[in-house]
Structure 1
Amino acid sequence: MTYPIRVRASALIIQNNCVLLVEFNDEKGLHYNLPGGGVEEGETLIEAVKREAREEASVEVNVGNVAFLYEYAPQTVNSKYGTVHSLTTIFECTLKHAEEARLPLIPDENQTGVKWIHLDDLHEIILYPNLCEKIRNYVENKQNIALIEDQYLQDYEK
């Protein structure tokens, strides 16, 4: 028997002490998420985070180091975000160009905006998942996690 787990990738984009967030308004009310989503078949994590930033915030990004790994295990939190177990790799990203982040032409369902939120104001919004303090700590301490991609490892010689 297999146990499915959804693999996701998200972008942590910090600029001028602000974080780029995607705004939603749905049955949970007004809330925010990092730009991100599920990795598609045949796509790497890095390709996925680039695509998601483009699709959700209309920006092209340079993908840096892994800032966080976030596991959502529904059985541990009464399925507050649904029933699908997921693991999200959150990458520190920078904008490739001085472009303005904006709502895409075809936004996700219930997506109402793309906003830069100052780090000092994170406590005033609802961010799912609630990574507000983790983001602030990350910006102050920059402790990264290495992403090891197999295609860059040297094969053993036989």
Structure 2
Amino acid sequence: MNSHIRVRAAAMIINKNNEILLVEYEDENGVHYNIPGGGAEPGETIFEAVRREAMEEVSATVEVGDLVLVYEYEPVENQSKYGPQHSICLMFECTIPDGETAQMPEYPGLNQTDIKWIHLARLKDITLYPDIKEQILEFAWEKRSLPIIEESQLNIKIES
């Protein structure tokens, strides 16, 4: 039985040089980036999903830390811009153990062209799906968990 909401797990990996590890894709939308992550498999814990997805997409073992961001995508509220599947993505602060290096996987996913460490100051210069650059920067500078983010609210300016 398929769930009407897909549960995704993602690894937000920011190194000591203030760079975030992203997966690069090129398709009909051009070059764009994603945080390493994907859907949890049946019988898999969310932590297992984060570790598996990081290994599949950036060929690295990760240590999973705190939940830092929850992102909800509702197709009905967003003209199905990322497809028809309603999803919740749980993003965790992760680290790569000393001595290990992220690299392009031997068998990359469809349209995956590279993995890149992007300096946080350069986030504004790239296309990121979902477009949570502001939220990533807020987390990176303040090191605190963020509220649930709904795709339909991303374009609304939040007042301080």
TM-score calculated relative to the size of structure 1: 0.88
Q: Between Structure 1 and Structure 2, how many residues are aligned?
A: 144
Q: Deviations over 1:17-64 (max 9, x none)?
A: 000000000011100000000000110000000000000001100000
- Name the residue aligned to 2:129: 128
- Name the residue aligned to 1:25: 26
- Name the residue aligned to 2:109: 108
Shift in Å, 1:144:
2.5
Shift in Å, 1:102:
1.1
Shift in Å, 1:66:
0.5
Instruction: Give the Cα–Cα distance (whole angstroms) in 2 for the partners of residues 97 and 49 of structure 1.
Output: 19
SS of equivalent residue, structure 1 residue 88: strand
In our comparison, the structure showing a higher alpha carbon Rg is 1
Shift in Å, 1:99:
2.0
Instruction: Give the Cα–Cα distance (whole angstroms) in 2 for the partners of residues 78 and 144 of structure 1.
Output: 28
Shift in Å, 1:3:
6.3
| Structure 1 stretches of 4+ moved >3 Å | none
- Name the residue aligned to 2:61: 60
Instruction: Give the Cα–Cα distance (whole angstroms) in 2 for the partners of residues 110 and 30 of structure 1.
Output: 10
SS of equivalent residue, structure 2 residue 95: strand
Unpaired runs of 5+ residues, structure 2, are: 147-160
- Name the residue aligned to 1:153: none
Unpaired runs of 5+ residues, structure 1, are: 146-158
- Name the residue aligned to 1:14: 14
Question: Does structure 2 conserve the Cα–Cα contact (< 8 Å) formed by 1:60 and 1:97?
Answer: no
- Name the residue aligned to 2:71: 70
Is structure 2 residue 1 aligned with structure 1 residue 5?
no
How large is the RMSD of aligned CA atoms in angstroms? 1.3
TM-score calculated relative to the size of structure 2: 0.87
Shift in Å, 1:101:
1.3
- Name the residue aligned to 2:156: none
Q: Deviations over 1:90-126 (max 9, x none)?
A: 0000002332211100000000000000000000000
